[in-house]
């Protein structure tokens, strides 16, 4: 299911036909993306993206999350995903990335806002969590802008190639969500 964000931005569930363009996007932005994404070096070709998409489709079929291509003016510029769906506790986690030259335009904030609306209003969940590396100020600005509460810090929460990074945990409850 596609989610329309605004006249220029759309979230479209990733499909196999997206693999070549998604791989080309990642390959062209390796330096930028590698700084905070630990899977970049292991993404060596379109086959790796096809495995990612197959996993996303499987999670979608099992109602355990999905990944969306982030489309801006008809071209893919990033990915936004629901990492898991905890139906017992009514919560999920959102992750995202965008290419460097599309940062600072409000695209990702608008996309995450739309996904949150979908999570609360259509899926009926109660909590959304976002985790960001402490040093990733641009990524951290998104939950802060959207009214999330900074709930804590996970020390050495992620191994990133040759070092650990701490994560900030942000949470948002349905009754705290302000409609944008």
pLDDT tens readout for residues 1-55: 899 999 999 999 999 999 999 999 999 999 999 999 999 999 999 999 999 999 9
Residue 81 lies in a domain: yes
Residue 65 lies in a domain: yes
Q: What is the CA radius of gyration of the chain?
A: 16
Using CA atoms, how far apart are residues 92 and 88, in angstroms rounded to an integer? 11
- Read off the CATH number of the domain in which 93 is found: 3.40.630.30
Residue 169 lies in a domain: no
DSSP state of 118: I
DSSP state of 17: G
Residue 142 lies in a domain: no
Residue 78, CA distances (Å) to 136, 174, 178 in order:
16, 26, 25
Tens digits of residue pLDDT in 60-109: 999 999 999 999 999 999 999 999 999 999 999 999 999 999 999 999 99
What H or E segment, with its residue span, contains residue 23? helix 19-28
Residue 115 lies in a domain: yes
DSSP state of 22: H
Decide: helix, strand or coil at residue 18. helix
> Is 146 a residue whose pLDDT tops 50?
yes
Using CA atoms, how far apart are residues 76 and 13, in angstroms rounded to an integer? 12
Decide: helix, strand or coil at residue 72. strand
Structural domain boundaries, residue 72: 3-126
User: Model pTM?
Assistant: 0.94
Residue 39 lies in a domain: yes
Alpha helices (H) along 29-179? 30-34, 46-61, 107-117, 137-145
Residue 68 lies in a domain: yes
Q: What total of structural domains would you count in the chain?
A: 1
**At 175, phi and psi to the nearest 5?**
-75, -5
Residue 151 lies in a domain: no
């Amino acid at each position: 299911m596609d989610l329309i964000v605004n006249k220029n931005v759309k979230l479209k569930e990733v499909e196999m036909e997206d693999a070549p363009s998604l791989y080309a996007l990642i390959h062209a932005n390796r330096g930028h993306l590698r700084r905070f994404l630990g899977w970049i070096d292991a993404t060596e070709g379109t086959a790796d993206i096809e495995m990612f998409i197959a996993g996303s489709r499987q999670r979608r079929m099992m109602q355990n999350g999905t990944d969306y291509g982030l489309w801006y003016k008809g071209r893919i510029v990033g990915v936004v995903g629901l990492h898991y769906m905890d139906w017992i506790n009514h919560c999920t986690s959102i992750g995202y990335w965008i290419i460097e030259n599309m940062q600072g335009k409000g695209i990702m904030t608008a996309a995450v806002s739309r996904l949150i609306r979908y999570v609360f209003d259509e899926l009926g969940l109660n909590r959304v969590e976002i985790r960001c590396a402490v040093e990733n100020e641009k990524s951290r600005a998104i939950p802060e802008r959207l009214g999330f509460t900074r709930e804590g810090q996970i020390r050495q929460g992620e191994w990133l190639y040759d070092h650990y990074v701490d994560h900030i945990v942000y949470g948002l409850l349905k009754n705290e969500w302000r409609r944008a």
